Amino acid sequence: MKELVIISGKGGTGKTSITASLAALAETSTLADCDVDAADLHLVLEPTIQTSETFTSGRAAEIRAADCTQCGLCEEVCRFDAIADFTVDPLSCEGCGACVEFCPVGAIDFPEQDCGVWNISTTRHGPMVHAHMNPGAENSGKLVSLVRQEARKMAAQQNSEFLLVDGPPGIGCPVIASITGADAVLVVSEPTLSGEHDLHRVLELAAHFKIPAMVCVNKWDINPVMTDRIEDLAKEFGAAPVGRIPYDAAVTAAQVNARALVEESAGEAAQAVRDMWSGICSKMH
């Protein structure tokens, strides 16, 4: 089983659409949506949820008013100004536990927090593990690791040839949790100055973790000169340019119909994705 993580330096480059198309082209694959802060692979693949589990992580203090003696010590030791009028503001509480330790009468509870939900589902292109964070919840990196762990188990059970991971954008903790230990990453870029800058950061991250990288340029024909620059940058990092996907209205049409591009179209962009997939397979085998 080969694990390919599709990432980008910023949101909106088309990595989810590409992930869905690669899943449609793969003979056997298991999918993982690790963009847990803004998951949307389910919008294209229309999964049927088989199991659903609550994700708990971190703790927040809660003062029991009936037991509180209003001594004020908790407010004094809180470095985050999360306690006022003997009440904890859950949005300000960092879960350090200082108030719990110092409360002289033990009137402060410290329960784990429900931060989101993760699911195991079936799709028309194989099983998928996906999740979402609750608004304002933290520890998305930990949830990403959980999703990948469960997806790897599922891929082994299904004897899948590929584990395709739709990763989050950027270079932060969720991205690091998505790519660590993967066989390769596919970085989706756009032919713009910001795309070039973001690609540079992502390639540095992949190089730091010694993960082989491939690069594709989405909507390359809106700026061919910048596309050349981006591919030259990829080569400087030892990353292989594997595809140029042209702008095509068929991509939007496929999204509207909740279909992968290669399911909906036989046009130029769909053919570019098919050619790219052939190149990816040859490099990963």
Given a cut of 90, is residue 69 above it in pLDDT? yes
Q: What angle do CA 46, 147, 16 make, to 5 degrees?
A: 45
Q: What is the mean pLDDT of the segment spanning 256-269?
A: 93
CB 51 within 8 A of CB 164: no
List all residues 6 or more positions away from 126 whose beta carbon is below 8 Å from its beta carbon: 23, 26, 28, 29, 30, 31, 158, 160
Q: What is the mean pLDDT of the segment spanning 226-248?
A: 97
pLDDT at 33: 97
Given a cut of 90, is residue 52 above it in pLDDT? yes
pLDDT digit string, tens, across residues 120-175: 999 999 999 999 888 877 778 899 999 999 999 999 999 999 999 999 999 999 99
pLDDT at 40: 92
What is the chain's length?
A: 285
Helix, strand, or coil (residue 148): helix
For domain 61-110, the question of CATH label 3.30.70.20 is answered with yes
pLDDT at 198: 95
Give start and end residues of each alpha helix (H) in the chain: 15-25, 41-45, 73-77, 98-102, 140-158, 173-179, 193-208, 224-236, 249-256, 261-264, 268-284
Q: What is the CA radius of gyration of the chain?
A: 22
Least confident among 87-101, 135-149, 186-200: 135-149
Q: What is the mean pLDDT of the segment spanning 42-59?
A: 94
Given a cut of 90, is residue 270 above it in pLDDT? yes
- Domain ranges across the chain: 2-56+116-284, 61-110
pLDDT band at 246 (very low <50, low <70, confident <90, very high): very high
What is the per-residue burial (b if ≥16 Cβ within 10 Å, else e) of 228-243?
A: ebbbebbeebebbbbb
Task: DSSP for 42-92, please give it.
Answer: HHHH--EEEEEEEEEEEE--EE-TTT-----HHHHH-TT--EETTEE-TTT
Single pTM value for the model: 0.89
pLDDT at 71: 96
What letter does residue 210 receive in the DSSP assignment?
T
Closest to 281 in 3D by CA, of 18, 27, 13 = 27
The CATH code of domain 2-56+116-284 reads 3.40.50.300
pLDDT at 16: 95
pLDDT digit string, tens, across residues 22-34: 999 999 999 999 9
Q: What is the mean pLDDT of the segment spanning 222-232?
A: 97
pLDDT at 192: 96
Beta strand pairing call for 2-8 and 184-189: parallel
Q: What's the longest Cα–Cα distance across the chain?
A: 72
Given a cut of 80, is residue 183 above it in pLDDT? yes
pLDDT band at 285 (very low <50, low <70, confident <90, very high): confident
